[in-house]
Each structure stands twice: as C-alpha cells, then as structure tokens.
Amino acid sequence: MKRPKNAAERQARLNRILEILDQLYPDATCALHHSNPWELLVATILSAQCTDVRVNLVTPGLFKKYPTIEDFASVTPELLAQDVRSTGFFNNKAKSIVGAAKRILTNFGGKVPTNIEDLLTVPGAARKTANVVLGTGFGIASGVVVDTHVLRISQRLDLVRQKTPETIEKALIKILPQDRWIKFSHQIILHGRALCVARKPKCIKCPLDSLCAAKDKTF
C-alpha cells in the first residue's frame, strides 16, 4: 500500500475505507440483544471480557427474573452474581449493575441518562459502555466505541497511531464524520470477527487488503 502524502489523499483513502465497510456491512448494528436502554446497559456491562454470544444466552433469563430496573436495584449483588456467573468477573459485574440501577432510580428518575456526562457517573458505565448505550440505545453519537476490534483494526489500517482506547477514540473522532461514529464501530467489530481477526487475519479474502499495510498481514 502506498501511504497517502497529504491531507487530501488521506481523506480519499478514508472515504474509500468507509465505502467498502458500507458494502460489506450495510446493516451493522449492536449484537447484544435488548429491548430498551436499561437492558442494553446491563448487557454491555456483562459483555466485558465476555463474548456477545454468551451474554445473549444469559440475558433472556436474567430480564425475565428481573423485569424492571427496580428489581435490579432491590436484589443483592451476591445473589445477582450467581445469575451472571457464566459471563465471568461476575462479582464486579453484579455490583456494578445493582449500583447502576440504584443510581438511575435515585438520580435520574428511573431513566437511563441521555448525555455522556450523566451516564459516566453511573456504576459500570465507563466511556466505552456509555458510547454503546447512547449510540445504540438512543441514536446519540457521543463518541466512538473502541473495543479490542476497533483498537486493533484502526491501527492496522493506519487510521490512528495511538495505543490506548481513550487516545484512539479522540483520534477517530477527529477524522470521522460524526454521523459515522456509531456505525463505524459496529462495522469494524463485524470485520474483526469475520476477517481481520487478531491472529492470522484473512487478508487474502479482505476487500480492504489494498488499503492496508499492517505489519502482521498474511499472504
């Protein structure tokens, strides 16, 4: 891949990457099953260090057992931990979920906050989780979700040079149109699962191959 020499070439390359992502994943959306923003918040907290597939196996029974935010606020973290045990780190996750329910009931009238500042005060809702909930739950582009796939692929595609999720998000916000912040993350996550996997990426099958000069490309 020939590296872009100037801003115009970098923009043209980015536009081409976005076009290809649209062709590959036109209907990309969050893989976590939910019926409202609160359920999405719970599912996203559970998804830390756990697959979406596993979370989607757990949440139907969980939301049937605790159908309202009040139910989650009244259960003890110790009891809830047993319900989410299979997602890993269950004690911390249960504590966060119960704490989130209590704070939302006490401070926000039982409604998940719709702005990033308030949502970040909710237990378990760090920047990534907050962006997921606002983007998917409310259609609010508060930032770019940077999970392991977005971190890895944005570096492989040379869209960013930063190393941490926080700095990568800031860099992506600068180059991506705001109306792409939500969809971009969903598309990159799907691409990371389908082709641009962590080990031995399937470069020969990847339509982005000609735009990529990753050091760990396979041939």
132-171 confidence digits (pLDDT tens): 999 999 999 999 999 999 999 999 999 999 999 999 999 9
DSSP 136: I
93 is catalytic: no
- 43 with 22, same domain: the answer is no
Q: What total number of domains does the chain contain?
A: 2
- 110 with 47, same domain: the answer is yes
Using CA atoms, how far apart are residues 66 and 139, in angstroms rounded to an integer? 25
CATH (domain of 176): 1.10.1670.10
Q: How many C-beta atoms surround the C-beta of residue 66 within 10 A?
A: 19
Q: Token digits for 146?
A: 């940077």
DSSP 134: I
- 51 with 133, same domain: the answer is yes
> Which of 103, 138, 173 corresponds to the end of one domain?
138
- 42 with 95, same domain: the answer is yes
80-110 confidence digits (pLDDT tens): 999 999 999 999 999 999 999 999 999 999 9
Q: Token digits for 7?
A: 């801003």
- 41 with 123, same domain: the answer is yes
What element of type H or E holds 103? helix 90-107
Give the list of residues 6+ apart from residue 180 with CB closer than 8 angstroms, or none.
18
Q: Token digits for 164?
A: 């941490």
- 25 with 46, same domain: the answer is no
- 114 with 83, same domain: the answer is yes
Of the residues 52, 83, 118, 147, which is catalytic? 147
Average pLDDT value for the chain = 96
Q: What is the span of the domain harbouring residue 59?
A: 37-138
Q: How far is CA 81 from CA 72, 95, 98, in A?
A: 12, 8, 10
- 57 with 43, same domain: the answer is yes
Closest Cα to residue 209, out of 196, 192, 190?
196
Using CA atoms, how far apart are residues 129 and 47, in angstroms rounded to an integer? 9
**For residue 178, how far is the Cα from the chain centroid?**
16
Does 103 map to a domain?
yes
147 is catalytic: yes
What amino acid is encoded at 177 in this protein? P
pTM of the model: 0.93
Q: Token digits for 191?
A: 């691409």
Residue holding tokens 């590296």? 3
- 19 with 85, same domain: the answer is no
Closest Cα to residue 33, out of 148, 142, 137, 115?
137
178-213 confidence digits (pLDDT tens): 999 999 999 999 999 999 999 999 999 999 999 998
